[in-house]
Each structure stands twice: as structure tokens, then as C-alpha cells.
Amino acid sequence: MTKKVKNPASKLVIGLTFSCISVILNTGIAHQIGLAKSTDPQKCNILAYVTDTDPQGLNVRSGASTYNTILGQIPINETVQVIGAAGDWVQITNASDGFQGTGWVFVPKLGLTTRGYGTNGVDLYASTSQQSLKVRRIPANTVVKLLGCQKDWAQVEYQGVKGWLTREDQCGAALTSCS
């Protein structure tokens, strides 16, 4: 059995509460509050290239969220230096063309290729150590999905297998072999 609220002041308080919750959810404030509580970005030092096919380029934002301001764009195939990672976002700097400065991009819009030229491929490791388990061998000069980074290691996915590539096995340039 439900109880009806007869007091007009109680109805007003309940209405205002639901309105505030709706505003917080619909404006993205809740997402920004969640980001504020997150830990500092993971430090990285890798190169990657833009795979976003949007004719205007990949949006670079002031923070790790679509709610942050767009600072500029970077065209497809341009190389960027990745200096930090937080969830599905990476902090970039030193774009080869387009946006100049430092900002955040959505990591699925960046790519990486393996090196290993003249070999039978490169190893994909379970963690950021060459002493960790080798989870897969990836052919040389193969495009992999970039997931994130830690120091100079790139977290990638290849044919459904996730793991880590050493700096020596990464090529962050789209239109060259990095040889």
C-alpha cells in the first residue's frame, strides 16, 4: 500500500530532490565527480597514430571525458606522443600535425603497429615485464588495437588476446615501417 504525501512542503522537497538528481545526471556532473575521485593518470611514454576517420580529425580535449572542452583536432595517420593514461583516455602531446600542445583523446581512436621486421613476429606479454608469461606471438608489421599504456609499455589487443608490447616492438607511425 502506498502512502500519499499531503503536505505541500514535502511535495516540493521531493520534487526539488528529483530535479537536482536529474540535472546532475543529464549534465554530466556525476561523471566529472567520478573522474575527480579517480587516481592520477598512469605515466606513459609511447608513440601512437590517429585512426579516427572523422574528416575534421580526432578531438583533443582538456580532460579525460567527452564533457571536457575540445582544444583542437589531429588528422588521421598523424603521430602523437602518449604521456599518460586514465581508463579509456590517454594524455597526448607533440602531434606531428594538427593540434599543438597537451590534451586528452579517446584511446580507441589511436593505433599501433608491431615491429619485428625480418623475424617471425613479436611477443605479447601478460604484464609489463619480459619475465612475465608470453601470451601470444604477433606477426611483424601488424596493426593492433591500443588499449592503454604504462611507462614505455603499450597495452594492446590482437585477435581477442590482450597483453603488453615492449617499446622495441611498437611502431607508432601509420605510414612508415619504423625500421
Per-residue DSSP letter, 9:
H
Three-class HEC string of 116-167: CCCCCCEEEECCCCCCCCEEEEECCCCEEEEEEEEECEEEEEECCEEEEECH
Strand partners, 42: 85
User: What's this model's pTM, rounded to 2 decimal places?
Assistant: 0.76
| Res 27: pLDDT | 46
Query: CB under 8 Å to 14, separation ≥6 — which residues?
Result: 5
Which residue bears the cell 604484464?
127
- In tens, the pLDDT along 42-64 reads 999 999 999 999 999 999 999 99
Average pLDDT over residues 97-117: 94
Q: Where are the beta strands (DSSP E) in the chain?
A: 42-50, 58-61, 70-74, 79-86, 89-93, 102-106, 110-114, 122-125, 134-138, 143-150, 153-158, 161-165, 170-171
Q: What is the pLDDT of residue 176?
A: 81
Residue 156: phi, psi to the nearest 5? -135, 170
- Write down the pLDDT at residue 34: 41
Say yes or no to pLDDT of 151 above 60. Answer: yes
Whole-number Å distance between alpha carbons of 65 and 175: 29
